[in-house]
Structure 1
């Protein structure tokens, strides 16, 4: 079992936002288990929180931009890539501006800060989305495509073709997340000259300079453009290097552009909120296709989680047989609806019932087409929950369990003679004053048949 991780200590970085040009302080703080990544705008009243969630993506122009209830976070991808690349699960990211500092245009300084803060293992198990079949998304307008296929580890390959002589076709691969720090984290963001002109004309990249963005020169530079660049970057002189990039920068890798695109993929896919066990292949990736793919995966994961069927060994020796159950529960046949208890902890219980044609209720409930009554399935789940709550007292035989509330009941499949019903009840909140509030589910034939939220209380018999 791989456990979740957070950072040991809080740590801050300062810089400017690439597009806003605003000074910004960003602080990483430890977060509790199952928290995920959240951005907190401490410069706004109430310090609103925006979860790193693909469903909050509202714009992908020059970065992945999130918005929740009117509160925005711009260019989130480099920070999220660093957190994922450092194998972190839960962190609070405080900002006093809408955009993280661009630093050198990579994730390197964020990785260094995370390592300086220290990494701490937590108690909860990490959840994974295990890829079982190929899943793909294609942007018909651009021809960009992302697929994920089964693999034992999280791997990413980015293939880019920019259609320009200065850059051409490039590939980059991360075979394991452990390679992120050394092979991917220092790959810097980049732009083409024609894009740069548009950004400058629209008042963007106010925080840009020749130290945090590689500029590939894909066209002749006019004197007017050269003067604009000098003014924008505060330089007296700007020239083009032989490899086709503006001067004052040396590439870390010949395929640095492809590595940065891979970095963006890692950051954008962090928005699904669950670790991936699979190989991602991105052809001409960009923030739009990345985040659309993240939204698609997020939907698939939520459906899987909702329909996830626990696997139990129904043939192993039970924790309680029917005689032990009758020593705890006051119910007796034909109203005793639990045959075995397979598992039990302080927060959950798993029970089993074999449904046979000999059940009394089949005599009168649709005798020509026998179906187990839904209310009895709910009662059977409640009896399992009763065993859980009665296990908290030393003399369960002296107590009775009474329903207080039944909410959100859903019947999804029919239960027929010959079915084996497995019940799982999980506490929603701790048992207090003999009151048990739980989420109950019933399964048969590998499917969820019934679910409900149940509340009951035990009372001592007079």
Structure 2
């Protein structure tokens, strides 16, 4: 299983804020396992920290703004996108002002610095949320939508559409996050000339210029008004009849605007709090719908806090019944694991097919057959025994015995016809022959039982 990652070392980037125009410095630091993304305002008394999660987003007008107890940090999406796309799970971000510096309007400097300092694998397992069915969010007013479909990895398709002759329709795709730095990170934010004056009147884009944004001039205005706007922006006067892109650096890609929207989607979905495995299809995305979708995903994750492992009955098992009998002493009617379908260094996934012919159904209960809870625990423990015994030499000379069972919960009846799927994980390394494990039993996607248990591994006499 993949492990969580953090930075090997800290790095800092400095520049002006897009909306405040302030000189700002942001520092990205390593963080411990399961820390997630947190942002610390080091210029505020007490240096408060904000969890970088979608629930803390309070504004999405022209960027993503996180707030907690009246303390705000804005324009976080480009830095978040670089962390997420490059596989960083845990990071403490310190900033000396109310927003991240805009830099050149892209995520490339963040990505370059992450590559420069490198990443470090941590002990905790990377906790993916696996998309198993279609999830959709639509905004009927704007025509925007975000759909996520099952996929083996995280990938994105983004389609944008504007009432503009310059960029009427564009799309961008990212199939592999390893290509983020080459194909997406350098895409810059953009603004239409017609939007500049209202944004300035709203007290925004005080730090905007032709070096940190693509400016699109697609509706002709009078030379006088165009000159006034140029004066406000602090740029030379230009021909008001010449429509097109206005920027110092030419477009990196013909669809750079769509690529930047894809970048923003990654940055906003980084605030879900877990990496996901699924394909995102975003139509006319923006920070508002991105955040609404991220919040919906967080609700989905809370409803399915523990996900059932993927199980394909057509695949060959890693251990069949014969191999299981080589490792465990149990025989009919007490062999309660039929096959093992997945293993890792510290976990195992095993299957028990519950049939009406089980001996225990004769008395439990004749009119309403229900699998006894103690036998569910026993089956889970046998799966744990297979995890341990499969890793030692001469396993037939060893046995595992319960020492204690804790935190048992039975959530739903298990009846004939059910397929029990057990996922058992070592909580701590095995020491002095003692193994402590946490297990969940699923029928379909539903948790039916869970328990923590400790076992002793002893040599047979």
TM over 0.5: yes
**What CA RMSD, in Å, does the superposition of the two structures yield over aligned residues?**
4.5
Instruction: Confirm whether residue 321 of structure 1 aligns to residue 325 of structure 2.
Output: yes
**Contact 1:194–1:219 (8 Å) recurs in 2:** no
Q: Corresponding residue for 2:168? A: 169
Q: CA deviation at 1:68?
A: 4.5
Give the counterpart of 2:448 among 440, 450, 454: 450
The C-alpha deviation readout for 1:284-330, integer Å capped at 9, x for no partner, is 2211122333334455566566341354838615665399446xxxx
The C-alpha deviation readout for 1:24-66, integer Å capped at 9, x for no partner, is 2112223456655443333445654444433333321101222
Question: Do the aligned partners of residues 435 and 164 (structure 1) sit closer, same or farther apart at CA in structure 2, a change above 3 Å counting?
Answer: same
Q: Corresponding residue for 2:294? A: 294
Q: CA deviation at 1:77?
A: 1.3
Instruction: Confirm whether residue 440 of structure 1 aligns to residue 439 of structure 2.
Output: yes
The C-alpha deviation readout for 1:392-439, integer Å capped at 9, x for no partner, is 9x9x999974546435x13224323x6565544324455689986543
Q: Secondary structure at the match of 1:205?
A: coil
Query: Within 1, Cα distance between the matches of 2:27 and 2:290?
Result: 26
Q: Secondary structure at the match of 2:262?
A: helix
Question: Do the aligned partners of residues 123 and 157 (structure 1) sit closer, same or farther apart at CA in structure 2, a change above 3 Å counting?
Answer: same
Instruction: Confirm whether residue 29 of structure 1 aligns to residue 33 of structure 2.
Output: no
Q: CA deviation at 1:188?
A: 1.9
Q: CA deviation at 1:164?
A: 3.0
Q: CA deviation at 1:201?
A: 1.5
Query: Within 2, Cα distance between the matches of 1:382 and 1:228?
Result: 72
Q: Secondary structure at the match of 1:368?
A: coil
Q: Corresponding residue for 2:369? A: 370
Instruction: Confirm whether residue 230 of structure 1 aligns to residue 228 of structure 2.
Output: no
Q: Corresponding residue for 1:406? A: 407
**Contact 2:39–2:92 (8 Å) recurs in 1:** yes
Instruction: Confirm whether residue 55 of structure 1 aligns to residue 55 of structure 2.
Output: yes
**Contact 1:337–1:353 (8 Å) recurs in 2:** no
Q: CA deviation at 1:100?
A: 0.9
Q: Corresponding residue for 2:144? A: 144
Query: Within 1, Cα distance between the matches of 2:352 and 2:132?
Result: 31
Structure 2's unaligned 5+ residue stretches are none
The C-alpha deviation readout for 1:120-140, integer Å capped at 9, x for no partner, is 566777666666665443211
Q: Secondary structure at the match of 2:306?
A: helix
**Contact 2:108–2:185 (8 Å) recurs in 1:** yes
Q: CA deviation at 1:370?
A: 2.0
Q: TM-score, length-normalised on structure 2?
A: 0.76
Q: Secondary structure at the match of 1:306?
A: coil
Question: Do the aligned partners of residues 172 and 178 (structure 1) sit closer, same or farther apart at CA in structure 2, a change above 3 Å counting?
Answer: farther
Q: Corresponding residue for 2:264? A: 264
Q: Corresponding residue for 1:204? A: 204
Question: Do the aligned partners of residues 288 and 323 (structure 1) sit closer, same or farther apart at CA in structure 2, a change above 3 Å counting?
Answer: closer
Q: Kindly report which structure 2 residues correspond to 1:57-76, keeping only aligned pairs within 5 A, or say none.
A: 57-68=57-68, 70-76=70-76
Q: Kindly report which structure 2 residues correspond to 1:348-367, keeping only aligned pairs within 5 A, or say none.
A: 348=347, 362-367=361-366
**Contact 1:382–1:454 (8 Å) recurs in 2:** no
**Contact 1:338–1:351 (8 Å) recurs in 2:** no
Question: Do the aligned partners of residues 4 and 424 (structure 1) sit closer, same or farther apart at CA in structure 2, a change above 3 Å counting?
Answer: closer
Q: Secondary structure at the match of 2:261?
A: helix
Instruction: Confirm whether residue 191 of structure 1 aligns to residue 191 of structure 2.
Output: yes
Q: Secondary structure at the match of 2:370?
A: coil
The C-alpha deviation readout for 1:82-139, integer Å capped at 9, x for no partner, is 3344454544332222311101211222222223223456677766666666544321
Query: Within 2, Cα distance between the matches of 1:113 and 1:57?
Result: 26
Query: Within 1, Cα distance between the matches of 2:180 and 2:348?
Result: 41
Q: Kindly report which structure 2 residues correspond to 1:76-115, keeping only aligned pairs within 5 A, or say none.
A: 76-86=76-86, 88-115=88-115
Question: Do the aligned partners of residues 4 and 318 (structure 1) sit closer, same or farther apart at CA in structure 2, a change above 3 Å counting?
Answer: farther
